[in-house]
A and B are shown apart, each in its own frame.
Chain A
């Protein structure tokens, strides 16, 4: 079946940039998403990118998409302690509405 892979952990210092990477297998993915999950909380959509775009910027967040390599990244500028959470990459296929999630990257921000 289709798959989404992410590294499991990332640790950065407050004020640095964080880059979380993701690869996916479904070449028909029309949209790719980044979700944030804080402890005990639900999933919050951070941003998404349409497959015909290669970059999207939204305040401190920058999403880069390399469709040829099926590689997606999320850059968080000026990372804050409040950004500590698990970040999930997800792809959405063209034929169905369901999302395929990676296992999540746990971001730890040290003061």
Chain B
């Protein structure tokens, strides 16, 4: 596709359930980022992939959060035992380069996760 695609656009889940959020980056972009944006806040970094490997996962809040990018393209963010505090918009971005590059990070529209 032309841009970064995230699915689903909205997800409502019950507390304690498991969810998967998908990101389809722009073709050829090797760098992929996940951010979380809570209401009234700026996006907060979660994890960064360069190719298939997680180059930096220091932003993941705890071990309930995990992300994969097995073939270096599509990425899935997985949240186990969801809590109400996980409710936020989860943003994915991709770029041509990673560290030290000025290349623009293109953001998807985000997945709005609501935990009830």
- The distance in angstroms between the C-alpha atoms of A109 and B90, with both chains bound, is 28
Option from B31, B41, B104 in Cβ contact (under 8 Å) with A97: B31
Produce 1/0 per residue, B28-54, CB < 8 A to A.
000101010000111111001010000
B41 near A103: Cβ-Cβ < 8 Å? yes
- The distance in angstroms between the C-alpha atoms of A67 and B29, with both chains bound, is 30
User: Which residues on the B side are within 8 Å of A100 (C-beta)?
Assistant: 45
- The distance in angstroms between the C-alpha atoms of A104 and B55, with both chains bound, is 27
B25: interface (CB < 8 Å):
no
Q: Which residue of A lies closest to B40 (CB)?
A: A103
A4: interface (CB < 8 Å):
yes
Give the number of residues in A that approach B within 8 Å (Cβ atoms). Answer: 23
Q: Which residue of B lies closest to A30 (CB)?
A: B100
B99: interface (CB < 8 Å):
yes
B101: interface (CB < 8 Å):
yes
User: Which residues on the A side are within 8 Å of B97 (C-beta)?
Assistant: 97
- The distance in angstroms between the C-alpha atoms of A97 and B100, with both chains bound, is 7
Minimum C-beta distance from A10 to chain B (A): 16
- Give residues 27-70 of A contacting B (CB, 8 Å): 30-31, 41-45, 48, 50
Option from A30, A41, A48, A97 in Cβ contact (under 8 Å) with B55: A97
Minimum C-beta distance from A33 to chain B (A): 8
Given contact pairs A42-B109, A43-B43, A97 touches B102 in the complex (Cβ within 8 A): no
Q: What are 13 A-B interface contacts by the 8 Å CB criterion?
A: A31-B102, A42-B109, A43-B43, A90-B42, A94-B100, A95-B99, A97-B99, A98-B48, A99-B43, A99-B105, A100-B45, A103-B42, A104-B42
